[in-house]
Chain A
Amino acid sequence: MTTAAEHIDPALRAEALASLLIERGLVDQATMETFIKTYEQSVGPMNGAKVVAKAWTDPGYAERLLADGTAAIAELGFKGPQGEHIVVLRDTPEVHHVVVCTLCSCYPWPVLGLPPSWYKDPSYRSRIVREPRAVLAEFGLDLGDDVEIRVFDSSSEVRYMVLPLRPAGTDGLSEEELAALVTRDSMVGVAEVAAP
């Protein structure tokens, strides 16, 4: 693909590829649009936020989630592409987890949707492994020196999601209220969940 790839506008390449495949009857526009709409509008971090809130409020669920992420996540109805092997990493006051895909962009779509651009960026993918503390500080997350940082590299075999610490002062909140606090970044591990 290299000659085409280097000289032709990607918009034209994508259109060319789509038109040839559609003409051959190999894909249809409606199917493509369904996938696009799904990931633009329906699948995203609000799914993971519900998983996190349930794990915070239901110890039995938390246990199942840590034992078999994919199955426990499917209990809430979240499944689909890139969700076959999700492993959940539980933060503790002593250990903070952060997730990357060093080779490409593996990411647990059913719970987080498609990855943000920084997750796919060459700089994040290389630096978070070499200097996690500095990169997290750039995200605004300053962890004490007593907190161990563990970096997990997602792949096609395993896609990681972080179960962040429940913020203090949230005892009275419902599961729904808790879910509203949980951000995408906290489930990738580049942020903590802030109290309301």
Chain B
Amino acid sequence: MSGSGGRADPAYLLDSSGPAAPPRDNGELVFAAPWESRAFGLALALNEAGLIDWEDFRRALIREIGDWEAAHPSGEGWSYYECWLGALERTASARGLVDPRALAGRAALLAARPAGHDHERHGHDGHDGHDGHDGHEHDMHNESPHHP
């Protein structure tokens, strides 16, 4: 799906109701959790913008899946979209779209939100030694606690 393939072309957005529409998902949700759909949408949006190459992403996905399978011969704990997300992180990092340390730092910040959070108020004080700490990428400053 490299190049022109990755567009939201209205030509394939079709009426899904009507008598000729059999059950599309056989009772199964397309995405099991919002983060899965977010990881999916991100990959397609980056591809459409020409920021990642779909073949690169697919190769990264194959590698994530292969690594996971090698490490988990029983298959226990399998999550396809975790592999997808790992592949996307890898591909986006390789393309310089995100810094892995900024990514880890941001995730740590998000993890530290209290229930009913307002994450603007939270910084990385109180975090211990995650990669993002040393990084201080410019991205991080958007959520820095040092604004008024």
Residues of A within 8 A of B (CB): 1, 3-5, 8-21, 23-24, 26-28, 31-36, 38-47, 49-50, 53, 77-84, 103-106, 110, 113-114, 116-117, 120-123, 156, 176-177, 179-185
Contacting pair A41 B85 (CB below 8 A)? no
Residues of B within 8 A of A (CB): 1, 5-9, 11-14, 16, 19-26, 28, 30-42, 44-49, 51, 54-55, 58, 61-62, 65-66, 69, 75, 78-82, 85-86, 88-90, 92-93, 97-98, 100, 102-104, 106-111, 131, 139, 142
Main secondary structure, interface of A, reads helix
Whole-angstrom distance from the CB of B70 to the nearest CB of chain A? Answer: 11
Which of B13, B41, B48 lies in contact with A33, CB distance below 8 A? Answer: B41
Smallest CB gap from B112: residue in A: A12
Bound: A183/B9 CA distance, A? 25
Contacts A20-B103, A44-B25, A81-B5 given: A104-B65 contact, CB under 8 Å?
A: yes
Which of A35, A44, A104 lies in contact with B61, CB distance below 8 A? Answer: A104
Which of B24, B58, B104 lies in contact with A8, CB distance below 8 A? Answer: B104
Which of B40, B42, B69 lies in contact with A39, CB distance below 8 A? Answer: B40
Residues in B whose Cβ lies below 8 Å from that of A47: 12, 14
Contacts A104-B61, A114-B30 given: A35-B41 contact, CB under 8 Å?
A: yes
Residues in A whose Cβ lies below 8 Å from that of B36: 14
Max count, chain A CB within 10 A of own CB: residue among B31, B42, B78, B97 = B42
Contacting pair B65 A103 (CB below 8 A)? yes
Bound: A24/B42 CA distance, A? 13
Contacts A4-B131, A11-B34, A32-B42 given: A183-B103 contact, CB under 8 Å?
A: no
A-B pairs with beta carbons under 8 Å apart, 7 shown:
A5-B85, A10-B82, A16-B106, A17-B88, A18-B38, A20-B102, A24-B139
Contacting pair B42 A77 (CB below 8 A)? no
Smallest CB gap from B83: residue in A: A104
Contacting pair A45 B80 (CB below 8 A)? no
Contacting pair A1 B86 (CB below 8 A)? yes
Smallest CB gap from A114: residue in B: B30
Bound: A156/B5 CA distance, A? 12
Contacts A14-B42, A16-B107, A17-B92 given: A80-B35 contact, CB under 8 Å?
A: no
Contacting pair B20 A26 (CB below 8 A)? no
Which of B13, B42, B46 lies in contact with A38, CB distance below 8 A? Answer: B13
Whole-angstrom distance from the CB of B67 to the nearest CB of chain A? Answer: 9
